[in-house]
Structure 1
Amino acid sequence: MTSCSRNLPVTYREYKFAADFPILLMEVKSTTPQIDFIHFHNCIEIAFCQSGTMTWNLENQVSSLSPGNICFLPPFFTHGSFFPSQEGEVSCSYLFFNPEQLLAPFYPNGLPSEFTWYQYTDFSKLLSGERFCEEVELIRMIIGELTDRVGHYRTAVRGMVETLLVLLYRKHQGCSVFGGGGSSLPQLFPAISYLDSEYAAELDTAHLAYLCGLSSRQFMQRFQESFQQTPLQYLRTVRIQKACRMLTSSETGILDIALQTGFHSLSSFNRYFHKIVGSSPQAFRNDRRAIVKKDPRYAPYRAT
């Protein structure tokens, strides 16, 4: 990856989905070079390259997408793409959707927190078709259903998107937040889910143990065995991950981010951020989110 210009204009592209089926398929084919403007939007974007080579600007880093590979972008992630001059046709299919809205018929009480792994900044954006062969096949099937629109295709698409998120979540479990894989992990999931949503609250291990149906002693022992860290250490990592997302997706001040993620002072936030990430919050923001989202242009997109 190489850096590109830090002064590119940025546009917020808001996708307006149909209320009863909030997913959009776009197909792009071209034999001439094309350039997309730098933008971010309010939904997940999956780009599946079928032929030719695409060049992507991902948060001011340049990468290539080749046939059979996927570009998976979370909401509010700045990006743009262009087709360099080349022989033959460039063909790419794009899926845009919000999983919380699309899967609402399956989860009327809210999407399970494991399906929101895509929010974390450390998940790879470019996915190899060789490693993610099951996911690629699912995306092909989703595109086919949205293209053919045969009977009950909406239910089929929802089911395949749900399966896709589960498969990607499993591959994401190796990161620091979801790390660990002991046999106690399923029983600990109620506590993990709670910490992921209530990360700014004071740590109450007795309540976490209650959620898991364990005594405080059992909970602490099984948590330590599964994650090789205490609940407090885990919570600090979750808070820092949440802070990383805010640092790279907003212009919120660092002190406000510290307070919103459960830290009581800027010095405490800076200390643990450097310990976990290896740099200061400001340096992380400058390095990872070099494209500034302050006062972006607004370009809503409505499916026709």
Structure 2
Amino acid sequence: MLPQIEATVNSNLCKWSTQGAVEVKSAISRMIFNFTGKVAFGYDVENSKAETIESLPNFIQSLMSFPLNIPGTTFHKCMKDKEKMSNMVRQIMKERFNSPDKRPGDFLDQAINDMASEKFLTEDFIAELAFGILFAAFESVSTTLTLALKFLSENPHVLEELTAENEAVLRKRENPDSQLTWEEYKTMTFTQSVINETLRLMNIPPGLLRKALKDINVKGYTIPAGWTIMLVTPIVHLNPETYKDPLEFNPWRWKDLDQVTLSKSFMPFGGGTRQCAGAEFSKLYMAAFLHVLVTKYRWSKVKGGRITRSPILLFPDGVHVKLTSKRD
């Protein structure tokens, strides 16, 4: 999907550069929502009449509300927004059942084909699964890239190094206008360090939930079997014993961190065997976005940038930037 990702990013950033100040979180949210919806289950943003992207911010802000599902409550509104999204997927599924010869062969088609052999794959389950994929990609990528732009704006020496690495990729090509390749992506180590450092400083979810299958002894305390454990990953990521000067935005620190340490101390996409299935897709999308951004555009933060956690990350004033092409 790398060529598709780069084409999407190019198209969107070109539009941003013709506008005034752009609120980054909402703009990236729309971009990733439309792309993920299209490749996962054929969502056509141009022809859809459904309320889609407008519903998701409400859903995200309501996600951690008290679960009282009666009209007028935050949780009830959250569930109504989620139902709109699920119904959109169900409608697309219905169209595919009625026209099997027009199926594009995407993720949704694979799930439909597997319904005959996998009993748990019902229409309701597939609709929930598609929504989960869309929500996970939408929130993690848009939040991380918004934070990255904020941090890069405030740390020009990091931006300089990031730009140098990505412009070096262009100089090594026979055709400077050719698309980003997988091999090039794998060489962009500092770009990945910027992404990792952003995720470390502002881990998006408030923590990881696990269930104790047996009694667990931890430093004299016993966690009884059956209890739910919440590992607060933002605290793990700010441990000064692992990360020197943990509040400093320092992508260079990733050169010296070994894999054993990272496996125990860096969990932006989950921990152990239960990691997010979309982790590699998210990192690839973010790297492609940063590649296009720093090689083709300049930007300046116009206003906003304040961050709150309640308990998910929010941008009360937004992050507004002005983009200009480097060719201008």
Q: What TM-score bracket applies, with the shorter chain setting the length? A: under 0.3
Higher share of residues assigned strand: 1
Question: Which has the bigger relative contact order, CA under 8 A and spacing at least 6?
Answer: 2
Normalising by structure 1, report the TM-score. Answer: 0.27
Normalising by structure 2, report the TM-score. Answer: 0.25
